[in-house]
Amino acid sequence: MPTSIPTRNKVNKKYTWNKESVFKTQKEWEDALQALLKDIPSLKKFQGKLGESAATLLNGLNAIEKLTLRAQTIFMYAQFEYAVDTTNQSAAGMVGKASSMAGQVAAATSFLNPELLKIGREQLNIWMKENSKLAEYKQSFDDLFRQQKHVRSAEVEEILGMLADPFSGPSNSSSMLVNADFKFSPAKNNKGKKVEVTQGNYHSALMEDPDRKLRQSAFESYHDKHIEFKNTLATNLGASISANIFNMRARKFDSSLSASLFNNNIPDEVFHNLINTFKKKLPVWHRYFEIKRKALKLKDIQYFDMWAPIVKKKPKISFEKAVDLICESLAPLGKEYVDTVRQGCLKDRWVDSTVNQGKMNGAFSYGSPSTHPFIMMSYTGEVGSMSTLAHELGHSMHSYLSWKNQPFVYSGYSLFVAEVASNFNQAMMRGHLLNTIKDKNFLIALIEEAVSGNFFRYFFQMPTLARFELETHERVERGEPLTADSMQDLMADLFTEGFGRKVKIDRPRVGMVWSTFSHLFADYYVYQYATGISGAHALASKILRGEPNAAENYLGFLKAGSSDYPLNVLKKAGVDLSTPKAVEETFAIMEGYIDRLEELVG
């Protein structure tokens, strides 16, 4: 394992994102930003006049969409450039400019919904019958009137739009602190040799290293730095939660949970069904932790052992080989799908896969309808990295097919369905490889990646964080203070319950896990990882079993974008997430992996 990480300017361009396909130079980006800022006032000519005629309304919608698309592309470029190197001060400045621009665009377009409501559903229905282009907006109009009681006046909506920029301050502050400013103490391996700890190598390499001394040392270094700044981190998250509560009350919701789920027409029961099923199925996790402890030959197992490899020698897979295996796994979706994935990975440079200093922790897929769907990750050549690549390609293909098949108004999709597409690719990959790979070492590594990597994150950490999120929001709603110590204690209590009696808990450090997940700055995001992995495995299982039309139905889901509500789109694809059934089925799939692992390790 390398003990030093290269700087950004030392990496192979072949494995970096194709930013030149978006803007050839930073100056071109700057020019696009300034041109957009000059064009924002042009929307004023539509304000107060959308109700004059169907043609005026359609022209106004088109103007707003064109400006919004430009803004999305400019914003994405800045965010991605910063993500691949948070030490790049120029990129950090671009993010600041882009965030300010986004707030101005949100404010400038805020008149749209109040004016649509003023026009009224009856008049809109008449115009949609007369104008087929306007009729394309029916789902968005229906959704707006569903939300009518929570849409405020044009003046209030403008203020709420202007608040988007300052409300992003706590998230940006925490990101800058942990990604750019944090310098972690080096870890030490069992020979006393120092190993660098960064956001880029902590999860993807150090926590998966077979050297327990190194894992523990890295874990302590990483979390001790967060403990050192726990008051700042807690203040930032607390401010973000307060902003959520402000928006909840401004839009007249009874709870922050209802306010968040309402946007996608998701009943509160979906969240509570997940949490209740998770708590009921904790014994499945407790069984796995004990199997892993025995396989690792440990007296006690701790948090930093969760990613430890059981295999003595990890299989190594080149980036190009990983693409081949992923494409083989996705063959049931058809040649066009597979060819697009291969082209994106190997020719069009969708993936920024290099490991470098300053790179953000984790992985994501991001783009706009005018760009490629780009992927940021740190590819390390192991099964876990291959799985992460498959996961992010699921997001990317979801975006690619939505952009290709839907008008701009429906070209996006909610977080609720996003994690279905990503986890689906991983489920397909495992289903294929578990049936075709014969090497015992590879199979153990594959199952370990599934349970310790994917399922532990999505089906253990995320539901636990969702419980933390719900409790912290409810405390603020009740007027109770959030402190660093109270948040640390709450997190430690929830993980202690989740891990059970046989996992040793380092309470101060495990209590800071919340501060290592930037996802908590996105309101009620984390629970959707668990519902997503459930929907994904339910749909993948249909294809792996060879059910008629299962692949076609799944592709229809990817192409649907936001043309219908998330639960409805998924029902058409073949899974109903309004009940606990898919969550229970996915726990059963995980148990099957655990059974196979127990058999392989003896």
**CA 411 to each of CA 245, 255, 414: distance values in angstroms, whole numbers, following the listed order:** 29, 29, 10
Rounded CA separation 393/406 (Å)? 19
Rounded CA separation 16/356 (Å)? 11
Rounded CA separation 480/461 (Å)? 25
- Would the pLDDT of 229 be above 60? yes
SS3 482: coil
Q: By the 8 A CB rule, do 526 and 460 touch?
A: no
501-547 tens-digit pLDDT: 999 999 999 999 999 999 999 889 999 999 999 999 999 999 999 99
DSSP bridge pairs for 375: 351, 365
Find the catalytic residue in 392, 419, 448, 449: 392
* Residue 156 confidence (pLDDT): 85
- Would the pLDDT of 286 be above 50? yes
User: Which range has the worst mean pLDDT, 22-26, 106-110, 361-365, 547-551?
Assistant: 361-365
* Residue 392 confidence (pLDDT): 98
Q: What is the mean pLDDT of residues 431-438?
A: 94
- Would the pLDDT of 417 be above 80? yes
Of 242 and 157, which is predicted with more confidence?
Answer: 242
Q: What is the mean pLDDT of residues 406-435?
A: 95
Let me know how long the chain is.
Answer: 602
Q: By the 8 A CB rule, do 351 and 397 touch?
A: no
What is the domain partition of the chain in residue ranges? 8-167
Q: By the 8 A CB rule, do 246 and 235 touch?
A: no
For residues 238, 241, 245, 251, the Cα torsion angle rounded to the nearest 10 degrees is 140
Rounded CA separation 132/136 (Å)? 7
Q: Specify the pairing of strand 351-352 against strand 194-195.
A: unpaired
* Residue 453 confidence (pLDDT): 86
Q: What is the mean pLDDT of residues 175-194?
A: 93
* Short-list 11, 177, 31, CA closest to 84: 11
Q: Specify the pairing of strand 301-302 against strand 503-504.
A: parallel
* Residue 2 confidence (pLDDT): 44
SS3 351: strand
| Unique residue bearing structure tokens 């390609």 | 393
* Residue 512 confidence (pLDDT): 98
Rounded CA separation 248/257 (Å)? 9
Helical H segments across 437-549, by residue range: 440-448, 456, 462-477, 484-499, 507-510, 527-544
Rounded CA separation 111/109 (Å)? 6
* Residue 345 confidence (pLDDT): 98
Per the prediction, the chain carries an average pLDDT of 94
- Would the pLDDT of 595 be above 80? yes
Q: CA Rg, the chain, in Å?
A: 24
Q: By the 8 A CB rule, do 116 and 124 touch?
A: yes
Q: What is the mean pLDDT of residues 536-560?
A: 97
Does 449 participate in catalysis according to the annotation? Answer: no
Q: Other CB atoms closer than 10 Å to residue 3's CB: what's the count? A: 12
Q: By the 8 A CB rule, do 487 and 227 touch?
A: no
DSSP bridge pairs for 187: 195
SS3 301: strand
Highest mean pLDDT, choosing among 25-29, 201-205, 359-363: 25-29
- Would the pLDDT of 381 be above 80? yes
* Residue 346 confidence (pLDDT): 97
Q: By the 8 A CB rule, do 458 and 450 touch?
A: no
Q: Six-digit token pair at 531?
A: 């519902």
Q: State what percent of residues in the chain have pLDDT above 70.
A: 100
Q: What is the mean pLDDT of residues 280-288?
A: 97
481-507 tens-digit pLDDT: 999 999 999 999 999 999 999 999 999
SS3 515: helix
Q: 8-167 belongs to which homologous superfamily? A: Oligopeptidase f, N-terminal domain (1.20.140.70)
Q: Specify the pairing of strand 374-376 against strand 364-366.
A: antiparallel
Q: Other CB atoms closer than 10 Å to residue 443's CB: what's the count? A: 18
- Would the pLDDT of 185 be above 90? yes
| Unique residue bearing structure tokens 């929907």 | 535
Q: What is the mean pLDDT of residues 284-311?
A: 95
Give burial (CB, 10 Å; 0-12/13-18/19+) of 122.
exposed
Q: What is the mean pLDDT of residues 290-319?
A: 93
Q: 501: Cβ–Cβ under 8 A, 6 or more apart, which residues?
A: none
* Residue 195 confidence (pLDDT): 96
Rounded CA separation 308/81 (Å)? 32
Of 2 and 175, which is predicted with more confidence?
Answer: 175
- pLDDT band at 170, cuts 50/70/90? confident
* Short-list 396, 313, 285, 383, CA closest to 350: 396
Q: 532: Cβ–Cβ under 8 A, 6 or more apart, which residues?
A: 416, 417, 418, 419, 420, 422, 423, 458
Q: Considering the entire predicted model, what is its pTM?
A: 0.86
Q: What is the mean pLDDT of residues 345-373?
A: 95
- Would the pLDDT of 200 be above 80? no
83-120 tens-digit pLDDT: 999 999 999 999 999 999 999 999 999 999 999 999 99
- pLDDT band at 1, cuts 50/70/90? very low
